[in-house]
């Protein structure tokens, strides 16, 4: 319907223009005679340019009729009285048709060019020879903050504001060089284009002169590409690579350090067991053990950071675990922030990895600290929570049941809805360039998910932030760990093959097992262990192997051993926690011992595996 109305209007305008041409010809008759066709030719040109081919053809037809009727020798009668009139009229019609088709083609080419430039995803700016703007595509209008109607005929230098991304110094576009010397220009340096409204966009710039048919410069075209998203991706990739490199370094250091801690812990435990309770030197051995346990906690955090360790979950009293962090959090937050711990009375126990829980709380604390630059209060509260079906439905991924809730709150600046919507996305940060990786809260989310929990956030600008972490409440069986004095019940007389490339760890395991009645055979790597096993298959009851070894690692050794003897019993030890060991989590926990370990833990694992019917890797 709109098309029909538009065409009808354009045809009406063509008729009106033809009438105007007739009036002008009659008024200017003495001046333009015998060239009465000139005003009508102008109408054909105008109609073809603005309204297209059909309007040009209509104006040609109307012009021919009007000229024949009013200006030929047989005035006011349609028809020809001489071949001269006929020739003049035919000449007009042919000229008008040629004008119609040529102008229509030119019009179509301009429309196609305009549509092409408008569809480009980069900002396109066209200037004339003096440097004034003649065209902006929609992307350029948005990037400059100025519509084409407002920018038209204005100097480019008046509309375009470029600055150096790092120094903020103004940058001049070499428009004069391009228009006078005809050189092309391309720049991928870090520039910011600032719009009329003050919004800055990171861009790449290119430009080239426009030449007419004679090769003369008639203007220039500038293209500006928004590189903000690409730069963000590049920064994220760079940050990710840095984090991965740091993680690999941290994992390697932690793995080596765990080997040392295993030796320290093992010999300290053996030394303490040889001392009576009243021996004044016993407390020194206990202090060494306590320091080694604290150091083991640090390595667990390093391994969790490097993702070289999956969750080493255990049943813990959440209040006690959080209370042990209070001093550390106080130092982390600084003197101008008050740290408040509000433990709930009689809350249930949870099964989590302590190191990962500590990392999650540290990340939340650092986030709160940054939100309180002038000081404030940071609070951690624990409480039992019962979640019914309706409440669980409002929390994605959460199931009805019994939970322990950790409430972490601060009195900081708070967040708006847009920030909350992207809060747990990797690399999302509201901090400036180089001041945050955007990984802290995404790691918190991942740790909570690994612990089968859920996390919610409540915040408003100026009203602080509250994080609610729900962890499944576990049943307390009331079982206590066996006291050290019961370790003697883990003695045995079987033959055990050890494979470990670390001399200190290998000698410690040998000493612990030999002291408790076992016959021990030592090897330094997987190949040597496989050779010894093949030669002594009938005598060897069990293999204790490190996971990370040269030549042949522990997993490959285990596979080869089970191919030789499907019922071979293997205990894997490592400073890392490899999720590929065992078919299930229960199986993995049964046949894997994480470094550093105590002699009692080693003896208990060895005895459990030896007493089991079989060990399937």
- Contact between 522 and 498 (Cβ < 8 Å): yes
Is residue 585 over pLDDT 80? no
Say if residue 514's pLDDT is above 50.
Answer: yes
Q: Which residues pair with 342 in a beta bridge?
A: 381
Using alpha carbons only, what angle is made at residue 493 by residues 490 and 499, rounded to the nearest 5 degrees?
Answer: 85
- pLDDT tens-digit readout, 270-314: 888 888 888 888 888 888 888 887 787 667 666 655 554 455 677
| Residue 601 to residue 182: CA distance in whole angstroms | 80
Cβ neighbours of 153 (radius 10 Å): 10
Query: Distance between CA 337 and CA 360 in Å, rounded?
Result: 19
Q: Which of 14-23, 66-75, 79-88, 440-449 is modeled with the greatest confidence?
A: 14-23
Percent above pLDDT 70 for the chain:
84
Indicate the pairing of strand 465-474 with strand 401-410: antiparallel
Q: Give dist(CA 554, CA 238) in Å, integer.
A: 34
- Residue 187: its pLDDT value, please? 79
Tell me, rounded to whole angstroms, the distance of Cα 82 from its chain centroid. 83
Measured CA to CA, the distance from residue 325 to residue 361 in angstroms comes to 9
What's the confidence (pLDDT) of residue 477? 55
Give residue 579's pLDDT band: very low, low, confident or very high (50, 70, 90): very low
Domains, the chain, ordered by start? 2-117 (no CATH), 120-226 (3.30.450.20), 310-479 (3.30.565.10), 484-611 (3.40.50.2300)
pLDDT, one tens digit per residue, over 214-272 is 888 889 999 988 887 777 777 667 766 766 676 677 677 777 888 888 889 888 888 88
Tens digits of per-residue pLDDT, 368-419? 998 898 899 999 999 998 888 877 777 666 788 889 999 999 999 888 887 7
Is the four-CA dihedral 477, 483, 488, 492 of positive or negative sign?
positive
Mean pLDDT, residues 536-548: 91
CA torsion angle for 200, 205, 211, 216 (degrees, to 10)? 90
Residue 226's pLDDT is what? 87
Position 485 scores a pLDDT of 40
Task: Tell me which of 192-201, 338-347, 523-532, 533-542 is least confident.
Answer: 192-201
Looking at residue 615, what is its pLDDT? 47
pLDDT level of residue 74 (50, 70, 90 thresholds): low
The Cα 589–Cα 444 span in angstroms is 24
pTM: 0.49
pLDDT at position 325 over 90: no
Average pLDDT along the chain: 81
Place of tokens 């951690």: 380
Residue 575 backbone dihedrals phi, psi, to 5 degrees: -75, -10
Task: List pLDDT tens digits, range 456-508.
Answer: 888 888 889 999 999 998 876 554 444 444 344 578 899 999 999 989 999 99
**Is residue 527 a contact partner of residue 552, using CB atoms and an 8 Å limit?**
yes
- H or E stretch at 169: none
CB neighbours of residue 478 within 10 Å = 5
Beta bridge partners of 126: 135, 221
Residue percentage of the chain with pLDDT more than 90: 17
């Amino acid at each position: 319907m709109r098309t029909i109305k538009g065409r009808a209007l354009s045809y009406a305008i063509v008729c009106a223009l033809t009438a105007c041409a007739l009036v002008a010809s009659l008024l200017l008759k003495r001046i333009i005679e015998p060239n009465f066709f000139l005003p009508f030719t102008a109408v054909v040109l105008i109609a073809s340019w603005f309204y297209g081919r059909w309007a040009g053809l209509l104006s040609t037809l109307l012009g021919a009729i009007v000229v024949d009727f009013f200006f030929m020798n047989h005035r006011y009668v349609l028809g020809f009285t001489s071949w001269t009139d006929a020739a003049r009229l035919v000449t007009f019609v042919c000229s008008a048709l040629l004008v119609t088709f040529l102008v229509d083609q030119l019009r179509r080419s301009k429309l196609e060019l305009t549509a092409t430039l408008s569809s480009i995803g980069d900002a396109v700016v066209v200037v004339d020879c003096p440097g004034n703007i003649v065209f902006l595509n929609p992307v350029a209008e948005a990037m400059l903050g100025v519509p084409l109607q407002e920018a038209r005929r204005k100097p480019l230098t008046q509309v375009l504001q470029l600055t150096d991304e790092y120094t903020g110094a103004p940058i001049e576009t070499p428009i004069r060089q391009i228009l006078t010397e005809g050189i092309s220009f391309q720049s991928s340096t870090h520039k910011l284009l600032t719009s009329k409204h003050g919004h800055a966009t990171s861009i790449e710039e290119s430009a080239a002169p426009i030449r007419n048919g004679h090769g003369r410069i008639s203007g220039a075209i500038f293209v500006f590409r928004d590189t903000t998203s690409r730069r963000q991706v590049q920064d994220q990739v760079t940050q990710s690579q840095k984090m991965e490199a740091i993680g690999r370094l941290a994992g390697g250091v932690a793995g080596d350090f765990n080997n040392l801690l295993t030796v320290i812990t093992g010999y300290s435990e053996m030394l303490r067991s040889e001392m009576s309770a009243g021996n004044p030197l016993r407390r020194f051995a206990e202090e060494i053990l306590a320091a080694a346990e604290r150091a083991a906690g640090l390595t667990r955090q390093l391994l969790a950071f490097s993702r070289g360790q999956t969750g080493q979950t255990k049943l813990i009293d959440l209040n006690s675990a959080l209370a042990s962090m209070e001093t550390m959090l106080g130092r982390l937050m600084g003197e101008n922030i008050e740290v408040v711990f509000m433990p709930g009375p009689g809350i249930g126990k949870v099964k989590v990895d302590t190191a990962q829980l500590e990392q999650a709380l540290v990340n939340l604390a650092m986030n709160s600290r940054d939100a309180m630059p002038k000081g404030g209060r940071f609070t951690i509260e624990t409480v039992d929570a019962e979640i019914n079906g309706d409440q669980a439905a409002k929390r994605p991924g959460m199931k009805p049941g019994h939970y322990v809730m950790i409430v972490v709150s601060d009195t900081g600046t708070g967040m708006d809805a847009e920030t909350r919507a992207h809060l747990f996305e990797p690399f999302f940060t509201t901090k400036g360039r180089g001041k945050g990786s955007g990984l802290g809260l995404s790691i918190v989310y991942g740790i909570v998910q690994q612990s089968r929990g859920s996390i919610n956030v409540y915040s408003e600008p100026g009203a602080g932030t509250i994080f609610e972490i729900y962890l499944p409440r576990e049943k307390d069986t009331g079982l206590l760990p066996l006291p050290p004095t019961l370790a003697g019940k883990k003695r045995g007389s079987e033959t055990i093959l050890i494979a470990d490339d670390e001399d200190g760890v290998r000698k410690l395991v040998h000493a612990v097992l030999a002291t408790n009645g076992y016959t021990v055979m030592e090897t330094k790597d997987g190949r040597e262990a496989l050779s010894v096993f093949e030669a002594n298959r009938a005598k060897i009851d069990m293999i204790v192997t490190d996971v990370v070894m040269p030549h042949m690692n522990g997993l490959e050794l285990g596979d080869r051993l089970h191919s030789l003897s499907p019922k071979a019993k293997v205990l894997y030890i490592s400073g890392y926690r490899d999720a590929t060991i065992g078919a299930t989590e229960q199986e993995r926990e049964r046949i894997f011992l994480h470094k550093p370990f105590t002699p009692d833990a080693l003896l208990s694992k060895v005895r459990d595996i030896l007493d089991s019917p079989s060990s399937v890797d």
